[in-house]
Structure 1
């Protein structure tokens, strides 16, 4: 009687081919059946099996993505991309991290350490998305990694909905933990974090969802309009004292502007793109070169939001000497009003000398990334009030933390009046645009502040300027 053969008796090449059609968890389970299976899965010197499992999951090809990012100048790495090991790339470790992160997102992390490691995995994927490319018909070729992020970090994700710090329910000034910052950054990237009704007439919120977004906006307003959050320590913007991006602050800014755009019954007003696809490099369209690596030149839309100064003063004065959270109930009053203005901004790259005479200077004459020198720009900003367009002067540069910073001033009658400081959301040239804070150039303690959202018009068409409450 012939002895029965087992799966492990197959030639190695054939067995690896069979295993590429399995889920990575099943492959890991197979490795536990015998020593030979374990050796085949984990001790082979080549990466064929794990590379195929990675690409079949599916994810974007990391070697191609890295090469394209390097060629397009959106990566500071200068090492060539080729071979099985690319800049230390290990397909097995990378896929294992992603599969484990996927599990933690759906079921919740089991430990604080696992929570942090999982968030770091998602952040790494978000910050290494492929360059936006288009077909001959002009259609954007979607990213598998962006799609995976969107599906995994949906509104049901326990990873993003958990709030370990109870003070987040009523935000107060001060530093947020690294975990809270990464979680906020990820929430900024996924569509499910944003209210969709008002942007799509076919979508309607349930009573529970409506109440959730009302509370979310008021909680965000409570932080955004807290004047204690805008000092020299925070660089008068959404930044930490050590000059990193405060992603919790950025999330609050995005919440306020976006949900204000959902209120008016206007379906044809321009809106910034949101979601992980909008975070991809160069997703805003247009031309990019070494002379304009940030895609500055062109026509932009800019939303600015602001409170009546008397309301802003009344909201802040009772807490001027306190360090606790302000009263978010202020924004639930029926008499409260917040205005939103849509501006058209046109920008051109100019010489550094145009910064002479304005209120801010770079703390150095270079960016943290030598491949991205500071870009200086000048342009105009036009509103719907019929007044003459203001002049805008500013710069774009990369900071030590890798973020792309935008700083500019609005000038009326040769006098600088408003100062704006923001951060590029997503990668360089992302369609989601720039989120930041406007205030006066004098930065006095009681000066008005408000959020702004600047995003590029992809087709270069003029902006339909408007005001609404």
Structure 2
């Protein structure tokens, strides 16, 4: 009878591809013959990887065996029932997950990476440890618990709290408790953080950034914005008949839309050379031919835009009644620095807005920008989807997109009413360049008024071309 050890290499390869990839490492330790065949077998490890995970971009160099070894280590941590093991490895887990998301299939519904992660986070222990370890889930100075259950507690270091908040922002809100009562819901504490005007200052440009002038994302702030917007979107959608008028909850599907380039379709007329550079993460032309092409005046601005700005975007803006905002911030003593204000369940107003924008200028990066990526300027119009009379939703829009030195995509928008700028927003694109999840951040008075108002906003792209009722004349008039 033929034994497994006597099979030819081709048959052995086929047999091993039916093994679960973590077991392949164990097989290599069973005997010298298997070790000699498995260890360093690039084709076998590549086939095993591609059976279970998405193929990385062609421009990346991959050590398939090492990559599967790292994922096996990640899987062992995620499948462990030992909470201490998970907490000790929070940094490694978050970094590994972010890497899997950044190399996932751009067609998110077909992504093996995302499916793998979604399955792992069906485990409530993983959600408790890795998604619920930011400051929102800590304890107040008087010892009272903030958001979450006793199993959900803040990590001991600021860096770990930021990492947990980042992963939560990438994951979304599908497991959030959205009741209005205190219970264990996070949204009253998230809302408190979002509307605490102490968090808007010159050190963070009033945006979702750390207070150090670096424009690095403050993931705990972004986490709170996402939770608050997710709560408001869920309530809004539930209030509509069969969800009419809404696009659904952008944060309701775990890890959806975080992969760079996951917005589809990309403009068909983007020339292949420019598209390749965008996908590789570098705008600078790597050969003279592409560089010359991008400098030709006949090439549309959209074809030179690596961020995919032009098109129709859906936007959500939330705000408190100003009397409520003022009372929350100024009618009681400020907490000590570093302490949050009391949680609030005050109902917010919500506006769903359609923005139609197009590129009108591309300039070189400035100080503080990444030097191999341009600054793209845009102009357009915004219209309320549900209240055509709303003066704060119907406006002209101008703005810019750039990549910071840290590699984050930063969006700035200005809302113009009757020729005068009124509101400004500072946002980052979750996941990176051209991600389907879109942009999230804050809006505020263009004069940076310390008395407000201010609040959360987000927007995501819905289509490249107009849907038949674009306000082209009005958009063009902005440039006139």
User: Shorter-normalised TM-score: what interval?
Assistant: 0.7 to 0.9
Q: C-alpha displacement at 1:369, in angstroms?
A: 5.5
Question: CA deviation digits over 1:287-335, x for unaligned, max 9?
Answer: 2634232221122221111111221122122343631433434x24xxx
- TM normalised by structure 2 equals 0.75
Give the equivalent residue in structure 1 for 2:138: 167
| Count of residues in Structure 1 that have an aligned counterpart in Structure 2 | 403
- Relative to structure 1, the CA distance from residue 343 to residue 213 in structure 2 (aligned partners, 3 Å threshold; closer, same or farther) is farther
- Relative to structure 1, the CA distance from residue 213 to residue 305 in structure 2 (aligned partners, 3 Å threshold; closer, same or farther) is farther
Q: C-alpha displacement at 1:211, in angstroms?
A: 5.8
Question: Aligned partners of 1:301, 1:146: CA distance in 2, in Å?
Answer: 24
Residue in structure 2 matching 1:144, options 84, 89, 112: 112
Maintained 8 Å contact 2:358/2:380? yes
Question: Aligned partners of 2:36, 2:182: CA distance in 1, in Å?
Answer: 52
Q: C-alpha displacement at 1:462, in angstroms?
A: 8.0
Question: CA deviation digits over 1:335-367, x for unaligned, max 9?
Answer: x331111222121211369xxxxxxxx981684
Maintained 8 Å contact 1:284/1:456? no
Maintained 8 Å contact 1:106/1:156? no
- Relative to structure 1, the CA distance from residue 24 to residue 385 in structure 2 (aligned partners, 3 Å threshold; closer, same or farther) is closer
Q: CA RMSD in A?
A: 3.2
- Relative to structure 1, the CA distance from residue 326 to residue 121 in structure 2 (aligned partners, 3 Å threshold; closer, same or farther) is closer
Runs of 4+ in structure 1 displaced over 6 angstroms? none
Question: CA deviation digits over 1:214-240, x for unaligned, max 9?
Answer: 721111101111111111112211111
Residue in structure 2 matching 1:322, options 323, 336, 339: 336
Question: CA deviation digits over 1:184-220, x for unaligned, max 9?
Answer: 222233366355xxxxxxxxx8xx9886887211111
Q: C-alpha displacement at 1:91, in angstroms?
A: 0.7
Residue in structure 1 matching 2:48, options 44, 50, 53: 53
3-state secondary structure, aligned to 1:273: coil
Question: Aligned partners of 1:394, 1:380: CA distance in 2, in Å?
Answer: 11
Give the equivalent residue in structure 2 for 1:254: 226
3-state secondary structure, aligned to 1:103: helix
Q: Which runs of 5+ in 2 are unaligned?
A: 140-144, 148-155, 271-302, 470-480
Residue in structure 1 matching 2:310, options 290, 294, 297: 297
Question: CA deviation digits over 1:230-282, x for unaligned, max 9?
Answer: 11112211111232112221121111112112213111132353433422324
Residue in structure 2 matching 1:429, options 428, 434, 457: 434
Question: Aligned partners of 2:102, 2:21: CA distance in 1, in Å?
Answer: 24
Give the equivalent residue in structure 2 for 1:268: 244
Question: Aligned partners of 2:423, 2:180: CA distance in 1, in Å?
Answer: 34
Give the equivalent residue in structure 1 for 2:374: 373
3-state secondary structure, aligned to 1:120: helix
- Relative to structure 1, the CA distance from residue 301 to residue 145 in structure 2 (aligned partners, 3 Å threshold; closer, same or farther) is same
Question: Aligned partners of 2:104, 2:24: CA distance in 1, in Å?
Answer: 27
Residue in structure 2 matching 1:417, options 408, 422, 425: 422
Q: C-alpha displacement at 1:382, in angstroms?
A: 2.4
Q: C-alpha displacement at 1:449, in angstroms?
A: 0.9
Correspondences of 1:24-423 after superposition (within 5 Å): 24-42=21-39, 44=40, 46-56=41-51, 58-62=52-56, 66-67=57-58, 81=59, 86-87=60-61, 89-107=62-80, 108=83, 110=85, 113-132=88-107, 142-154=110-122, 156-158=124-126, 159-161=129-131, 163=133, 167=138, 170=146, 177-190=158-171, 193-194=174-175, 215-240=185-210, 241=212, 242-264=214-236, 265-266=239-240, 267-271=243-247, 273-274=250-251, 275=253, 276-280=255-259, 281-285=261-265, 287=267, 289=270, 290-317=303-330, 318-320=332-334, 322-329=336-343, 331-332=344-345, 336-351=346-361, 364=366, 367-368=369-370, 370=372, 372-383=373-384, 384=387, 386=389, 389-423=394-428
3-state secondary structure, aligned to 1:37: helix
3-state secondary structure, aligned to 1:457: strand
Q: C-alpha displacement at 1:109, in angstroms?
A: 6.2
Q: C-alpha displacement at 1:425, in angstroms?
A: 1.6
- Range that drifts further, 140-149 or 418-427: 140-149
- TM normalised by structure 1 equals 0.76
Question: Aligned partners of 2:199, 2:452: CA distance in 1, in Å?
Answer: 12
Q: C-alpha displacement at 1:400, in angstroms?
A: 1.6
3-state secondary structure, aligned to 2:190: helix
Question: Aligned partners of 1:439, 1:321: CA distance in 2, in Å?
Answer: 23
Question: Aligned partners of 1:192, 1:421: CA distance in 2, in Å?
Answer: 22
- Range that drifts further, 142-151 or 417-426: 142-151
